[in-house]
Amino acid sequence: MHFILIFLLIFLLFFGPQFWAKRTFKKHAKPLARLQGTGGELARHLLDRFDLKNIGVEKTKPGGDHYDPQSQMVRLSPDNFDQKSLTAVAVAAHEVGHAIQHQHNEPKFSLRTRLVVTAHKIQRIGAAAMLIIPLVMLITRTPYSGLLMLVIGLLSLSSAAIVHLVTLPVELDASFGKALPILKEGYISKQDEAAVNSVLKAAAYTYVAASLASLLNIGRWLILLRK
């Protein structure tokens, strides 16, 4: 009985935020004729309105909505790019919010960008370290060298979780400091504000879900190494 409760607790901790975010996006993804345009059209309009004509908008893979500061591109999943839904316009406004942060050189966004680049490099090093641990231990025949490599590997894998958690304020600002005030200026009706607020919250906390998934990956490595 205790094992089942622990399993359910772990399941809710690691997968609950992802399930909630996906459910929220799906719940408000129904096309609505009363909306003025699709997510892709709104993103283009807002970028032009805020004098960000150098930033492009393009369609990407499902679930891949993001703003890429390197290529200066707002990328929206097919449904959010093509449809007139509350999810589409909210996600589009959220990603444009990141573009505005970039334009204004906001310190938190700049820090997040640097951390993401660094984390990717560290993760590659860490993944390699985790793979060569058995080989190092076999060659040196000392447990300390393997332990050192293990620590390096785990720290590198945890870097993704740290980045996501540290940059949560950037996501919250994109949703509630940028997107929501803009959308309230006439892009959505009063009756839609609660739903849009939910979608924007899910968009911001998607990074928390990603952080927990990173921690779960660390746990998987620990289990494999104990065998």
Could you give the residue numbers annotated as active site? 95
Residues forming beta bridges with residue 59, ordered by sequence position:
76
The tokens describing 192, both together, are: 């839609």
The three-class DSSP label of residue 77 is coil
Residue corresponding to tokens 């993704």 = 160
For residues 19-51, one letter each, b for 16 or more C-beta atoms within 10 angstroms of the residue's C-beta and e for the rest, the string is ebbeebbeebbeeeeebeebbbbbbbbbbeebe
Distances (CA, A) of 147 to 153, 154, 156, 218: 10, 11, 14, 15
CA 183/CA 115 separation, integer angstroms: 29
Instruction: Tell me which residue of 156, 176, 153, 162 sits closest to 111, measured CA to CA.
Output: 162
Chain CA centroid to CA 2, Å: 33
How many secondary structure helices (H) and strands (E) does the chain include? 9, 3
Residues 43, 45, 50: CA angle, nearest 5 degrees: 95
Residues forming beta bridges with residue 57, ordered by sequence position:
74
